[in-house]
Structure 1
Amino acid sequence: MTTKFTPDHEYIRVDGETGIVGITTYAQEQLGDIVFVELPAIGKVLRKGDEAAVVESVKAASEIYAPVSGEVVEVNSLLTSEPGMLNSAPEGEGWIFKLKIADSAEIDSLLDADGYADLTL
């Protein structure tokens, strides 16, 4: 599995034609305690950069953007009742949605771990 990052602090873990999307550890630290997550609809078709979800914290609401184009095939409905999972395990159990990737070439335009780390220094 390959993990790539956006400058907006989303990650995508690529597993074949599917991408698992969420927010990075850095993003959840900046947001503070997360109290609500608005998940995308299954079947929703997103273009790279489209707003896919909304995360609300005690500090602010933040849009989550699609790192690549594709169709939402699964959402982490556990976040509806336990939004704090985004704080405790943002890059693990706190993933937000899964996407059937439409154009795998878009993945190449994303940041690798080193490139993302340079952004957050």
Structure 2
Amino acid sequence: MPEEPNKDATRAPANSEKSGGTEQAATAAATAVNIPRVNEVQLTAATGGAELSCYRCTVPFGVVVLIAGIVVTAVAYSFNSHGSTISYFGLVLLSAGLALLASSAVCWKVRLERKKERRRESQTALVANQRSIFS
């Protein structure tokens, strides 16, 4: 992408070191770097729309966290350390893994229902359009 000056760009000095001489300070103040601001459309284009697929990315993280929670809890309770920090950490990992898996299941269900609703709406519009053509 070509470098274009942007009105909304934030300007930051290129040289952040403190200088003792006035010549170096003037040079540092004259040299600035443009930091462009990114809007939501550009972010969606850059990520490929991955923000709409929450259930796809939370499943692997949920499984890994759940397995880690099982292992940490098993190690803590095998050493008979009930109420210790590691046993609490294992229980937190277990509950976080279950929460991630549950949230991914909820996201998947919501997405499935939206998809079914869109199909119903398009079929209804198709049938109504077909009736108006033959009437």
Higher helix share: 2
Higher strand share: 1
Task: Mark the structure with the bigger radius of gyration.
Answer: 2
Q: Under a length normalisation based on structure 2, what TM-score does the superposition of the two structures give?
A: 0.18
